[in-house]
Amino acid sequence: MEELAARIDGLSHRYPEQDDGQWALADVALRVREGVITGLAGPDGAGKTTLMRIMAGLLRPTAGKVDVVGLDPVRRAAVLHARVGYMPQKFGLYEDLTVMENLVLYADLRGVVGAERATQFERLLDFTGLRPFMGRLGGNLSGGMKQKLGLACTLVGKPELLLLDEPGVGVDPISRRDLWGMVQSLAEGGMAVVWATAYLDEAERCDALCLMNDGRVIFSGKPEEQRERMRGRCVHVRNIPGNRRHFLRRALGDERVVDGVIQGENVRLVLKEGVGQLDGRLLATAPGAEIVFVEPRLEDAFIDMVGGGPDGRSVLAETMPAVRVGDGVDVDAVISAHELTRKFGDFTAADHVTFNVREGEIFGLLGPNGAGKSTTFRMMCGLLRPTSGEAHVMGIDLKRSAGRARQKLGYMAQKFSLYGNLNVERNLKFFSGIYGLKGQVLEDKMARMLDSFGLDRYRRTVAGELPLGFKQRLALACALMHEPPLLFLDEPTSGVDPVTRREFWMHINALVDKGVTVMVTTHFMDEAEYCDRIALIYRGRMIATGPPDELKRQAADGDLAVPTFEEAFIRLIHRDDMARKSAGGESA
Amino acid sequence: MTRARPKKTGFSLRRACALCLKEMRQILRDPTSLLISIVLPVGLLFIFGFGISLDTNRLSMGIVMEDHGAEAIRFAAAAGGSPYINPVFADTVDEVKDDLKLARLRGVIVIPEDFTAKVLAGRGNATIQVLSDGSEPNTANFVYAYAHGLFESWLADRADALGMSMEGPVTLEPRYWFNPTTISRNYLIPGSISVVMTIIGALLTSLVVAREWERGTMEALLATPVTKTELMLSKALPYYVLAMVATTICVLIAIFIMDVPFRGSIPALLLTSTLFLCSSLGLGLLLSTLTRNQFNAAFAALNAAFLPSILLSGLIFEIASMPVVIQAVTYLIPARYFVKILQTLFQAGDLGAILLPNMVFLVLSATFWFGLTAAKTRRRLDG
- Pairing assessment for the beta strands A84-87 and A161-165 based on DSSP bridges: parallel
Nearest to A205 by CA among A231, A169, A179: A179
User: What pLDDT sits at residue A216?
Assistant: 92
Whether residue A559 has pLDDT greater than 80: no
Whether residue A8 has pLDDT greater than 90: yes
User: What pLDDT sits at residue B2?
Assistant: 41
H helix or E strand, kind and range, residue B32: helix B31-34
Residue A122 Cα, gap to closest chain B Cα (Å): 20
Sheet holding B129-132, edge to edge: B85-90, B59-65, B107-111, B129-132
- Pairing assessment for the beta strands A388-393 and A335-344 based on DSSP bridges: antiparallel
Contact B6 A84 (CB under 8 A): no
Please tell me which residue, A161 or A384, carries the higher pLDDT value. Answer: A161
User: What pLDDT sits at residue A317?
Assistant: 67
Give the C-alpha separation, A377 to A375, whole Å: 5
H helix or E strand, kind and range, residue A45: none
User: What pLDDT sits at residue A327?
Assistant: 67
CA-atom Rg of chain A in angstroms = 25
Nearest to B81 by CA among B162, B146, B171: B146
Nearest to A481 by CA among A517, A453, A501: A453
H helix or E strand, kind and range, residue A84: strand A84-87
ipTM: 0.75
Q: Which of A60, A86, A95 sits opposite B380 (nearest CB)?
A: A60
A-chain CB neighbours of B221 within 8 Å are 92, 109
Coil, strand or helix at A401: coil
Give the C-alpha separation, A472 to A455, whole Å: 11
User: What pLDDT sits at residue A374?
Assistant: 82
Backbone angles phi, psi at A151, to 5 degrees: -65, -45
Please tell me which residue, A104 or B383, carries the higher pLDDT value. Answer: A104
Q: What percent of chain A has pLDDT over 90?
A: 29
Please give the angle made by the CA atoms of A423, A20 and A309, to the nearest 5 degrees. Answer: 75
Mean pLDDT, all residues of chain B: 83
Contact B18 A104 (CB under 8 A): yes
Please tell me which residue, A240 or A84, carries the higher pLDDT value. Answer: A84
A and B: number of Cβ contacts within 8 A? 106
Residue pair A533/A546 in contact by the 8 Å Cβ criterion: yes
What pLDDT digit, counting tens, does each position of A415-465 carry? 667 787 888 888 888 888 888 888 888 888 888 888 877 788 888 888 877
Give the C-alpha separation, B306 to B297, whole Å: 12
Nearest to A336 by CA among A397, A388, A385, A378: A397
Contact A111 B14 (CB under 8 A): yes
**Residue B133's pLDDT band (boundaries 50, 70, 90)?**
confident
Q: Among A63-67, A137-141, B21-25, B359-363, which stretch is predicted with the lowest mean pLDDT?
A: A137-141
Whether residue A587 has pLDDT greater than 50: no
- What's the rounded mean pLDDT across residues A215-239? 91
Give the C-alpha separation, A536 to A173, whole Å: 13
DSSP B201: I
Please tell me which residue, A294 or B316, carries the higher pLDDT value. Answer: A294
- What's the rounded mean pLDDT across residues B90-102? 85
Query: B31 CB near a chain A CB, below 8 Å?
Result: no
DSSP A497: -
Q: Which of A59, A87, A90 sits opposite B380 (nearest CB)?
A: A59
Whether residue B1 has pLDDT greater than 50: no
What pLDDT digit, counting tens, does each position of A352-382 carry? 999 999 988 999 998 877 778 888 888 888 8
Give the C-alpha separation, A484 to A410, whole Å: 6
Residue pair B139/B55 in contact by the 8 Å Cβ criterion: no
User: Which of A166-180, A191-205, A270-284: highest mean pLDDT?
Assistant: A191-205
Give the C-alpha separation, A211 to A226, whole Å: 11
Whether residue B181 has pLDDT greater than 60: no
Please tell me which residue, B158 or A228, carries the higher pLDDT value. Answer: A228
**Residue B178's pLDDT band (boundaries 50, 70, 90)?**
low
Sheet holding A396-397, edge to edge: A347-357, A335-344, A388-393, A396-397
Whether residue A469 has pLDDT greater than 80: no
Give the C-alpha separation, B315 to B312, whole Å: 8
Nearest to A56 by CA among A112, A10, A111, A6: A6
User: What pLDDT sits at residue A584?
Assistant: 65
- Sign of the alpha-carbon torsion through A342, A343, A344, A347: positive
Residue pair B128/B112 in contact by the 8 Å Cβ criterion: yes
**Residue A585's pLDDT band (boundaries 50, 70, 90)?**
low
Picking from A18, A75, A109, A191 by the largest number of B CB atoms within 10 A of its own CB, the best residue to mutate is A109
Residue type, B207: L
- End-to-end alpha carbon distance in chain A: 58
Domains of chain B: 15-52+183-376 (no CATH), 59-161 (3.40.1710.10)
Coil, strand or helix at B113: coil
Nearest CA in chain B to A87: B220
- What's the rounded mean pLDDT across residues A126-132? 87
Query: B355 CB near a chain A CB, below 8 Å?
Result: no
Mean pLDDT, all residues of chain A: 86
Please return the burial class of A515, using the count of CB atoms within 10 Å of its CB with bins 0-12, 13-18 and 19+.
middle
- Pairing assessment for the beta strands A388-393 and A396-397 based on DSSP bridges: antiparallel
The number of residues making up chain B comes to: 383
The residues pairing with A545 across neighbouring beta strands, listed in sequence order, are A535
- End-to-end alpha carbon distance in chain B: 32
A-chain CB neighbours of B227 within 8 Å are 78
What pLDDT digit, counting tens, does each position of A312-352 carry? 677 666 777 777 766 677 878 888 899 999 988 888 888 99
Q: What percent of chain B has pLDDT over 70?
A: 90
Nearest to A335 by CA among A400, A385, A390: A390
Q: Which of A60, A79, A95 sits opposite B382 (nearest CB)?
A: A60
A-chain CB neighbours of B379 within 8 Å are 77
- What's the rounded mean pLDDT across residues A82-100? 88
User: What pLDDT sits at residue B54?
Assistant: 56
Whether residue B5 has pLDDT greater than 60: no
Residue pair A374/A465 in contact by the 8 Å Cβ criterion: no
Q: Where does residue A129 fall: left (phi above 0), alpha (psi -120 to 50 degrees), or beta otherwise?
A: left
Whether residue A49 has pLDDT greater than 70: yes
Picking from B224, B230, B231, B381 by the largest number of A CB atoms within 10 A of its own CB, the best residue to mutate is B224
Residue pair A153/A121 in contact by the 8 Å Cβ criterion: no
Give the C-alpha separation, B377 to B286, whole Å: 8
Contact B8 A84 (CB under 8 A): no
Contact A82 B225 (CB under 8 A): yes
Q: Among A480-484, A496-500, B272-276, B286-290, which stretch is predicted with the lowest mean pLDDT?
A: A496-500
- What's the rounded mean pLDDT across residues B232-238? 90
Cβ neighbours of residue B352 closer than 8 Å, sequence gap 6 or more: none
**Residue A1's pLDDT band (boundaries 50, 70, 90)?**
very low
Q: Where does residue B378 fall: left (phi above 0), alpha (psi -120 to 50 degrees), or beta otherwise?
A: beta
Query: B265 CB near a chain A CB, below 8 Å?
Result: no
Q: What would the DSSP string read from start to end of A530-549?
A: T-SEEEEEETTEEEEEE-HH
Contact A79 B7 (CB under 8 A): yes
Residue type, B72: A
Residue B223 Cα, gap to closest chain A Cα (Å): 6
Q: What would the DSSP string read from start to end of B300-357?
A: HHIIIIIHHHHHSSSSSS-GGGS-HHHHHHHTT-HHHHHHHHHHHHHHT---HHHHHH
User: What pLDDT sits at residue B292?
Assistant: 83
Contact A81 B223 (CB under 8 A): yes
User: What pLDDT sits at residue B47?
Assistant: 84
Give the C-alpha separation, A158 to A84, whole Å: 9
What pLDDT digit, counting tens, does each position of A289-316 carry? 888 889 999 989 988 888 877 776 776 6
- What's the rounded mean pLDDT across residues B131-155? 79
Coil, strand or helix at A118: helix
Whether residue B240 has pLDDT greater than 60: yes
Contact A109 B215 (CB under 8 A): no
User: What pLDDT sits at residue B3?
Assistant: 45
Whether residue A10 has pLDDT greater than 90: yes
Coil, strand or helix at A263: strand
Please tell me which residue, B292 or A386, carries the higher pLDDT value. Answer: A386
**Residue A18's pLDDT band (boundaries 50, 70, 90)?**
low
Which residues of A lie inside 8 Å of B (Cβ-Cβ)? 3, 15-16, 53, 56-60, 69-70, 77-79, 81-97, 101, 104-106, 108-111, 113, 150, 153-154, 160
Q: What percent of chain A has pLDDT over 70?
A: 95
Residue A150 Cα, gap to closest chain B Cα (Å): 10
Contact B381 A105 (CB under 8 A): no
In B110-169, the residues whose Cβ lies within 8 Å of chain A are none
Residue pair A308/A252 in contact by the 8 Å Cβ criterion: no
Whether residue B6 has pLDDT greater than 60: no
Alpha helices in B54-204 (DSSP H): 70-81, 93-101, 115-121, 137-161, 185-198
Please give the angle made by the CA atoms of A205, A206 and A212, to the nearest 5 degrees. Answer: 110
Contact A93 B217 (CB under 8 A): yes
Nearest to A452 by CA among A506, A490, A495: A506
Whether residue B100 has pLDDT greater than 50: yes
Strands (DSSP E) contained in A367-438 are 388-393, 396-397, 409-412
What pLDDT digit, counting tens, does each position of B182-223 carry? 566 777 888 888 888 888 888 888 888 888 888 888 999 999
Residue type, A351: D
Residue B208 Cα, gap to closest chain A Cα (Å): 12
Give the C-alpha separation, A41 to A496, whole Å: 13
